[in-house]
């Protein structure tokens, strides 16, 4: 009898417990907003995600995940310390170096580049200035060809323009660009960000390109681009730190940062359509206070780095598989959809 009464009491307690716990209780855990991102990267279409994602608010990590391999042949699992080639995210680093030199009085943004690169042979060196190079409005096609258009009249995305910016920095500092950029990283605690000629990096992943038949091929041309335009190496943690340093005024004075982060030109982007362009930073019209940053591509590497000023949140996505190259919107599928999910949760 006592045994039956104990069983009855236990069952009553259980019924009471569950009746007091609503079935639709809101999940208030900090990971709830990111469950959709978890679901997103489990997709196999348009291709399998192979990379790292880090979302932070200030110094606090909100979400981090890795999926796939740093070396597919060896099944070396990715981790947050792995380094990637960051593509055009590199341009904002070069822009910061130029503006730091500008703040020191070493160069002027409106002075013709002939002042710094007198060895250039064509007459257009007297009509193009550093501002034109920073904003891709210079018209340079090649160092031995006439301009494609008069300076400041059009936007034409140019890797060569940022290579010339690095050469200008070498001229005014009387140092190699690898030394100039390495000093920036060291002084600001970016211990895992490197110029590729600085061979001390140890955790660079292999990059892969998907062929038309779906096979992944190890990419041997990841550094074919000019380093100042698209060849720096970094990690998700360092890029997050970079965002805080840059947008919290630790790298540039307010006036210089404003030059970098306001509309200087408009670009017809292959993914975002019409976007505004600052100095190495991109944003949709009237949205520089909402979302600012850049996408990056290098052979075998697909990257994105964005900062959301109103919330102090950074989003960095780095992949080491470049797939669906016939359609860049598919190549950057996980990047743009992660941005969309995050913005929806932030009501931006």
**Residues 6 or more apart in contact with residue 124 via CB below 8 angstroms:** 139, 140, 146, 147, 151
Predicted TM-score (pTM) of this structure: 0.90
* pLDDT in the model for residue 25: 29
Dmax (CA) of the chain? 106
**Rounded to whole angstroms, what are the CA distances from 291 to 56, 308, 313, 343?**
14, 5, 10, 9
C-alpha angle with apex 51: 329 to 310, nearest 5 degrees? 70
Q: How far apart are CA 322 and CA 207, in angstroms?
A: 8
Q: Quick one: average pLDDT of 241-261?
A: 97
Dump pLDDT digits (tens) for 78-99.
Answer: 999 999 999 999 999 999 999 9
Question: How does residue 224 score in pLDDT terms, banded at 50, 70 and 90?
Answer: confident
The tokens for 9 are 């009491």
Q: Is the bond into 215 cis (omega within 30 degrees of 0)?
A: no
Question: How does residue 148 score in pLDDT terms, banded at 50, 70 and 90?
Answer: very high
Question: How does residue 218 score in pLDDT terms, banded at 50, 70 and 90?
Answer: very high
Q: Quick one: average pLDDT of 213-235?
A: 94
pLDDT at 24 over 70: no
Residue scoring higher pLDDT (53 or 3): 53
Domains detected in the chain: 30-346 (3.40.710.10)
Q: Is 89 exposed, middle or buried (0-12, 13-18, 19+ CB in 10 A)?
A: buried
Q: Quick one: average pLDDT of 112-137?
A: 98
Q: How far apart are CA 114 and CA 111, in angstroms?
A: 8
pLDDT at 199 over 60: yes
pLDDT at 15 over 80: no
Q: How far apart are CA 331 and CA 297, in angstroms?
A: 10
Residue scoring higher pLDDT (138 or 214): 138
* pLDDT in the model for residue 22: 31
Question: How does residue 8 score in pLDDT terms, banded at 50, 70 and 90?
Answer: very low
pLDDT at 32 over 80: no
Q: How far apart are CA 188 and CA 97, in angstroms?
A: 13
The answer to whether the CB of 131 falls within 8 A of the CB of 278 is no
Q: How far apart are CA 104 and CA 96, in angstroms?
A: 12
**Rounded to whole angstroms, what are the CA distances from 305 to 288, 317, 333?**
14, 7, 14
**Rounded to whole angstroms, what are the CA distances from 286 to 83, 108, 160, 234, 272?**
33, 28, 28, 29, 14
**Residues 6 or more apart in contact with residue 14 via CB below 8 angstroms:** none
Q: Quick one: average pLDDT of 24-36?
A: 54
Taking the alpha carbons at both ends of the chain, their separation in whole angstroms is 63
Question: How does residue 62 score in pLDDT terms, banded at 50, 70 and 90?
Answer: very high
pLDDT at 48 over 90: yes
C-alpha angle with apex 88: 181 to 169, nearest 5 degrees? 30
pLDDT at 276 over 60: yes
* pLDDT in the model for residue 5: 41
Instruction: Quickly tell me which residue has 């550093």 as its tokens.
Output: 130
Closest CA to 97 of 190, 221, 192: 190
pLDDT at 113 over 60: yes
Instruction: Quickly tell me which residue has 């290579």 as its tokens.
Output: 163
Averaged pLDDT score across all residues of the chain: 91
Q: How far apart are CA 167 and CA 115, in angstroms?
A: 12
Question: How does residue 18 score in pLDDT terms, banded at 50, 70 and 90?
Answer: very low
The tokens for 34 are 């990111």
Q: How far apart are CA 336 and CA 333, in angstroms?
A: 6
pLDDT at 159 over 70: yes
Q: Quick one: average pLDDT of 214-222?
A: 93
Question: How does residue 30 score in pLDDT terms, banded at 50, 70 and 90?
Answer: very low
The tokens for 136 are 């891709």
* pLDDT in the model for residue 33: 63
Q: Quick one: average pLDDT of 113-120?
A: 98
Q: How do beta strands 282-283 and 273-277 pair?
A: antiparallel
Partnered with residue 266 across adjacent β-strands are 276
Question: How does residue 23 score in pLDDT terms, banded at 50, 70 and 90?
Answer: very low
Q: How far is CA 70 from the centre of its chain?
A: 19
Residue scoring higher pLDDT (153 or 33): 153
Q: How do beta strands 313-319 and 301-308 pair?
A: antiparallel
Per cent of the chain over pLDDT 90 is 86
The answer to whether the CB of 127 falls within 8 A of the CB of 105 is no
């Amino acid at each position: 009898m006592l045994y039956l009464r104990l069983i009855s009491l236990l069952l009553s307690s259980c019924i009471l417990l569950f009746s007091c716990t609503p079935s639709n209780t809101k999940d208030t855990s900090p990971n709830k907003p990111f469950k959709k991102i978890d679901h997103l990267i489990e997709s196999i279409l348009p291709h399998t995600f192979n990379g790292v994602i880090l979302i932070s608010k200030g110094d606090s990590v909100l979400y981090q995940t890795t999926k796939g391999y740093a070396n597919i042949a060896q099944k070396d699992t990715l981790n947050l310390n792995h380094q990637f080639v960051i593509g055009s995210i590199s341009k904002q680093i070069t822009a910061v170096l130029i503006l730091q030199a500008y703040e020191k009085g070493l160069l002027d943004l409106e002075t013709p580049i002939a002042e710094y690169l007198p060895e250039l042979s064509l007459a257009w060196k007297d009509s193009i200035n550093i501002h034109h190079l920073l904003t891709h409005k210079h018209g340079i096609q090649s160092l031995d060809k006439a301009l494609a258009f008069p300076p400041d009249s059009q936007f034409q995305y140019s890797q060569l323009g940022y290579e010339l910016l690095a050469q200008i920095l070498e001229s005014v500092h009387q140092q190699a660009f690898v030394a100039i950029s390495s000093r920036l990283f060291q002084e600001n605690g970016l211990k895992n960000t490197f110029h590729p000629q600085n061979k001390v990096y140890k955790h660079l992943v292999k990059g892969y390109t998907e062929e038309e038949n779906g096979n992944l091929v190890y990419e041997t041309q990841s550094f074919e681009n000019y380093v100042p335009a698209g060849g720096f190496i970094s990690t998700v943690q360092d890029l997050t730190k970079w965002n805080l340093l840059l947008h919290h005024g630790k790298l540039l004075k307010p006036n210089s940062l404003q030059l970098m982060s306001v509309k200087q030109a408009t670009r017809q982007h292959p993914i975002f359509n019409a976007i505004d362009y600052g100095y190495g930073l991109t944003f949709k019209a009237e949205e520089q206070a909402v979302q600012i940053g850049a996408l990056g591509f290098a052979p075998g590497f697909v990257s994105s780095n964005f900062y959301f000023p109103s919330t102090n949140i950074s989003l960095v996505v780095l992949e080491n598989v470049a797939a669906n190259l016939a359609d860049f919107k598919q190549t950057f599928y996980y990047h743009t959809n992660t941005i969309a999910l995050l913005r929806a949760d932030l009501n931006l």
